[in-house]
């Protein structure tokens, strides 16, 4: 229930704010390792392992909305842990392309659940 309320609050805030003002430089790998560590105990109770597939071409710092990204990845990990019994959850980090102004990065969460 807490997650549903938080999601609703986040949606309400998103409608009221200018997304550009919430962008910051973020150490993406550090965020992914923190989130994996946060879910590791519950994953172990369910006989799951969490791993990160890292692409060294991804820049160390990216510009994004850190709170929004953290929430999205947390939701995916929570779902993976809750829907899986045994197996693996893999967080993928992949560089797609870089232009003069932007880098496109794919972040994926794959699990062995339903």
Which residue has tokens 């062995």? 112
Q: What predicted TM-score, i.e. pTM, was given to this entire model?
A: 0.77
Per-residue tokens: 33: 């390792």
62, 73 Cβ separation under 8 angstroms: no
Question: How many domains is the chain partitioned into structurally?
Answer: 1
Q: What is the CATH number of the domain that holds 21?
A: 3.30.565.10
Tens of pLDDT, residue by residue over 64-112, are: 899 999 999 999 999 999 998 889 999 999 999 988 888 899 999 999 8
Q: Is the pLDDT at 19 greater than 60, yes or no?
A: no
3: closest CA among 83, 64, 75?
75
User: What is the CB-side half-sphere exposure of residue 6 using CA atoms within 13 A?
Assistant: 10
Parent domain of 104: 2-111
Q: Phi and psi for 26 in degrees, rounded to 5?
A: -135, 135
Q: Is the pLDDT at 8 greater than 60, yes or no?
A: no
Mean pLDDT of 37-65: 93
User: What pLDDT is recorded for position 34?
Assistant: 96
């Amino acid at each position: 229930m807490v997650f549903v309320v938080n999601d609703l609050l986040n949606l309400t805030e998103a409608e009221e704010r200018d997304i550009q003002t919430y962008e910051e430089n973020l150490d993406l790998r550090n965020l992914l390792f923190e989130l994996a560590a946060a879910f590791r105990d519950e994953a172990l109770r369910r006989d799951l392992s969490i791993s990160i597939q890292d692409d060294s071409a991804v820049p160390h710092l990216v510009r994004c909305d850190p709170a929004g990204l953290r929430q999205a990845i947390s939701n995916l990990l929570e779902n993976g842990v809750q829907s899986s019994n045994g197996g693996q959850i893999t967080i993928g980090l992949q560089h797609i392309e870089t232009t003069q102004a932007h880098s496109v990065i794919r972040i994926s969460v794959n699990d062995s659940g339903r």
